[in-house]
Chains A and B, each alone.
Chain A
Amino acid sequence: MTVRYTKDHEYIRVEGDTGTVGITDYAQSQLGDVVYVELPAIGKAVAKGGEAAVVESVKAASEVYAPVSGEVVEVNSALEGAPGAVNEDPAGNGWFLKIRLSDPSELDALMGEDEYQTYLKSIS
């Protein structure tokens, strides 16, 4: 299992040919209280860097981009009734969707844990 990060603060936790996508703890803290999450349809094809979901805080709506290309195979429907999970447990219960990767080599361009932590320091 590997976790990779985008510069837009999405994570993807890869197990086999599937990756679980969510937003990082830094992202949720920047957004503030999440009040609504719009999830894609299962089966939707997403392209790396394309819009995969929408997360809305009290203040504003933000896009969640697909870290890699592939097909949406599962979404976290529990967020519809409890969007606050994105704030409380972004890496766990606050996940957004699962993607079956069409090109696992796309992961190579994403950041690993240490690299992401360094990146966070560089932008704060």
Chain B
Amino acid sequence: MAEPALAGETLHTTPLHAEHVALGARMVPFAGYDMPVQYPTGILTEHLWTREHAGLFDVSHMGQAALAGPDHETVARALEALVPCDVLNLKPGQQRYSQLLADDGGILDDLMITRPATPEEAGHLYLVVNAGGKEPDYAHIGARLPEGVRLVRGDDRALLALQGPAAEGVVRRMGCAAADLTFMQTGWFEMAGCRVHVSRSGYTGEDGFEISVKDTDAVALWRALLADGAVKPIGLGARDSLRLEAGLCLYGHDIDTLTSPVEAGLTWSIQKRRREEGGFPGAARVQAEIKDGSARVRVGIRPEGRAPAREGATITTPDGREIGVVTSGGFGPTVNGPVAMGYVARENAAVGNEVLLIVRGKPMPAKIASMPFAPHRYKR
């Protein structure tokens, strides 16, 4: 049995750290934070509970920030210079997934962008970035904003994700009108006596909510949500297996500075106006890849046996020619079998194509598969 290496650095904690410890969570270092990887029931149970009921995740390690400027158009155009999605035509209250791009079209981070709903918030955009991207992203964005637009860090806010088919009922039972939001809609609400900013979104493939709350209210809200019998706390372990089954990218694994959004299969997140007009970093490459296809693409992979193939496993053709690499892989509890994603040469990417995955030096038969592995159940 190989022991995982211990991190020597001092770890940050979220406002819910003591709650996790009290619930018996196993805490591990993740992106500089001491985070719950699982609670005593374990990852399998947590994963399946989220797909069947509602799981509550502490994602306060993620970076919350706002861009503030004189009006929507000014702020939207400032952000459009850094991301390939259409920010300008976001409706009030609407949220979009996008990527911060480098000048060569590589992905610096992926993020959620929200145009807030109320007139009082006009000229603001809310951002949620990955925990590991926080400092570099804020520096990158801050250095590229025009006069009159500034980045405001939301380090005093916690973020809770409530995910699963029972999530809407939980929010409704709390008497919170956020239950009436649809997928990728957002707004301010009262929940358990706390003022919260809610989006109908998440990263599990399930219907659900992401709830931003002042750090000092986080414990009260966490406890109020857990008081509902449909809700159990879920750690990062199940968060990873849920997003993998949902076919969603994890930054630093499935996407990074060496992958473009087109290679990553994220072209859907680049709206028509931006594809045509460009005007974002790496636009020439992205536009060319949309037109002609990229040399390699992200695909789903189903190993044929029971053995999981992990990140880093080489992908070859049946006759042993190397065509790519696995970027995320593991056991899918809902699929009840191994699932993976990775990059392969475009000519090998057709669903159903037979490939080999090299696991511990041995070739393992697998097939290119369509994603998601578990169907998305968003509330549209």
B-contacting residues of A (Cβ < 8 Å)?
A: 8-10, 23, 27, 30-33, 35-36, 38, 54-65, 80
Q: How far is the CA of A123 from the CA of B265 in the complex (A)?
A: 45
The DSSP consensus for interface residues of chain A is: strand
Q: Provided the pairs A32-B42, A33-B42, A33-B44 are in contact, do residues A61 and B1 lie with their beta carbons within 8 angstroms?
A: no
B28-54: contact bitstring with A at CB < 8 Å (1 yes, 0 no)? 000000000110001111010000000
- Given A10-B1, A57-B43, A80-B306, 11 extra CB contacts under 8 A: A36-B331, A38-B360, A54-B360, A55-B1, A56-B308, A58-B238, A58-B330, A59-B37, A59-B237, A61-B308, A63-B2
CB pair A9–B308 under 8 Å, yes or no, is: no
Residue in B1, B43, B306, B307 whose CB lies within 8 Å of A58: B43
Q: Per-position contact with A for B232-272: 1 when CB-CB < 8 Å, else 0?
A: 00000110110000000000000000000000000000000
Query: Which chain B residues numbered 309 to 338 have a C-beta less than 8 Å away from chain A?
Result: 310, 330-331, 333, 338
Is A56 a contact partner of B43 (Cβ separation < 8 A)?
no
A56 to B1, CA, bound (A): 11
**B contact residues vs A (CB 8 Å cutoff):** 1-4, 37-38, 42-45, 47, 237-238, 240-241, 306-308, 310, 330-331, 333, 338, 360
- Residues in B with CB closer than 8 Å to A57 are 43
Residue pair B2, A62 in contact (C-beta under 8 Å):
yes
User: With contacts A36-B306, A58-B43 known, is A23 near B1, CB below 8 A?
Assistant: yes
Nearest-neighbour CB distance to chain B for A122, whole angstroms, equals 14
Closest A-B pairs by Cβ, 3 of them? A35-B331, A33-B44, A58-B43
| Residues of A with C-beta under 8 A to B43 | 32-33, 57-59
What is the chain B residue whose CB lies nearest that of A87?
B42
Q: Which of A8, A31, A35, A56 has the most CB of B within 10 A?
A: A35
